[in-house]
């Protein structure tokens, strides 16, 4: 008997192709005798009136495995919601790049069947917790699997901020912002910003300045247990934004303190046995061209 009996499904509801893959996956799972639980928006998209339906967060309590059908953004959202429940995630790619969602639509039955039969590899990824305080009082917080980004927001204006790592002052910087990225996020926005590619198994965090107003400012890689404090400068013309995975957005004020550290809960990603990080880089980043 498979260790995964209750299977949660989350889909990219605005995509017709994702909905088709969801229906195909549902039919396969039900035929094989698995109990399927649909996230509520996903259930609406596939018109599954008789299916068992749950909120995204509740899937973490009800399911042994959650399968995400969509792009990396869909899996990032699922990870933020479900990491605290320790339920593993498996991705089917109906997006563009697919660094995290690595099963293609035409191999759904075969690959998912292999995973459910115990033929898979599990990978642990860490997330980041971010909080903003104003005048010593908490304002807002967020969670990121890829990155936390400080940026100018609506206006293209250089911003100023102070950076501390583990209580030690690093620098005052004037730039378009700063990316604080996990190894998972190192192939996303941080890569576009000139940061290094980090293997997912690394316990490290990279800080990538965005267009710094100095030639000597470069990405810094530090240990994963590091704690970061960013103080928003008081002379900024614009109010900088801070975002988690490009999703949750907080508008800061001068003097706000942003704190970032590793989340205590880790995410388990499930891959087919032949999954290979370097092969993924070759195919997704065009190394073989």
Residues annotated as catalytic are 72
Spatial contact of 177 and 210, defined as CB atoms under 8 Å apart: yes
Closest CA to 130 of 218, 268, 247: 247
Count Cβ neighbours within 10 Å for each residue of 228-256 and write b for 16 or more, e otherwise: bbbbbbeebeebbbbbbbeebebebeeeb
Please provide the DSSP assignment of 171-234 as one string. Answer: EEEEESEEEEE-TGGGGTHHHHTTPPP--TT--EEEEEEES-SSTT---EEEETT--EEEEE-T
Q: Is 189 annotated as a binding residue?
A: yes
Q: How far is CA 264 from CA 100, 126, 130, 248, in A?
A: 21, 8, 12, 20
Answer yes or no: is 6 a known binding residue: no
- Is 176 known to sit in a ligand binding site? yes
Torsion-angle region of 33 (φ positive above 0: left; ψ -120 to 50: alpha; else: beta): left
190 labeled part of a ligand binding site: yes
CA angle 80, 83, 89 (to 5 degrees): 95
- DSSP code at position 105: G
- 207, 222 in Cβ contact below 8 A? yes
| 288 assigned to a ligand binding site | no
Question: Does 192 show up as a binding residue in the annotation?
Answer: yes
Residue labelled with tokens 């993924």:
280
**Residue 157 annotated as lining a ligand binding site:** yes
Annotated binding residue 73: yes
Q: Is 62 annotated as a binding residue?
A: no
Tell me how crowded residue 112 is: count the other CB atoms within 10 A of its CB: 24
Q: Is 60 annotated as a binding residue?
A: no
Closest by CA to 43, choosing from 64, 61, 59, is 59
Residue 53 per-residue DSSP state: E
Structure tokens at 73: 């953004």
Query: Would you say 74 is a known binding-site residue?
Result: no
Annotated binding site: 72-73, 146-147, 157, 174, 176, 187-192
Annotated binding site for NAD(+): 72-73, 146-147, 157, 174, 176, 187-192
């Amino acid at each position: 008997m498979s260790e995964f009996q209750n299977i949660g499904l989350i889909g990219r509801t605005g995509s017709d192709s994702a909905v088709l893959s969801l229906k195909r996956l549902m039919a396969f799972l039900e035929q094989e005798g698995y109990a399927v639980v649909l996230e509520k928006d996903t259930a609406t998209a596939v018109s599954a009136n008789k299916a068992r339906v749950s909120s995204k967060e509740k899937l973490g309590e009800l399911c042994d495995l959650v399968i995400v059908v969509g792009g990396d953004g869909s899996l990032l959202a699922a990870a933020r919601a479900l990491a605290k429940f320790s339920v593993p995630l498996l991705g089917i790619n109906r997006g563009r790049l697919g660094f995290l969602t690595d099963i293609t639509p035409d191999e759904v039955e075969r690959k998912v069947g292999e995973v459910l039969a115990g033929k898979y590899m599990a990978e642990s990824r860490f997330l980041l917790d971010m909080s903003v305080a104003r005048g010593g009082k908490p304002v807002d917080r967020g969670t990121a699997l890829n990155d936390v980004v400080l940026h100018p927001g609506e206006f293209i204006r250089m911003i100023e901020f102070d950076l501390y790592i583990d209580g030690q002052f690093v620098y005052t910087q004037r730039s378009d912002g700063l990316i604080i990225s996990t190894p998972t996020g190192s192939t996303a926005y941080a890569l576009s910003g000139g940061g290094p590619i980090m293997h997912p198994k690394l316990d490290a965090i990279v800080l990538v300045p965005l267009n710094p107003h100095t030639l000597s400012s470069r990405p810094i890689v530090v240990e994963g247990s590091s704690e970061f404090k960013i103080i928003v400068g008081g002379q900024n013309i614009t109010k900088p934004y801070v975002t988690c995975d490009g999703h949750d957005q907080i508008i800061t004020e001068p003097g706000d303190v942003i704190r970032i550290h590793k989340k205590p809960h880790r995410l388990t990603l499930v891959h087919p046995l032949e999954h290979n990080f370097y092969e993924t880089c070759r195919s997704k980043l065009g190394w073989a061209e």
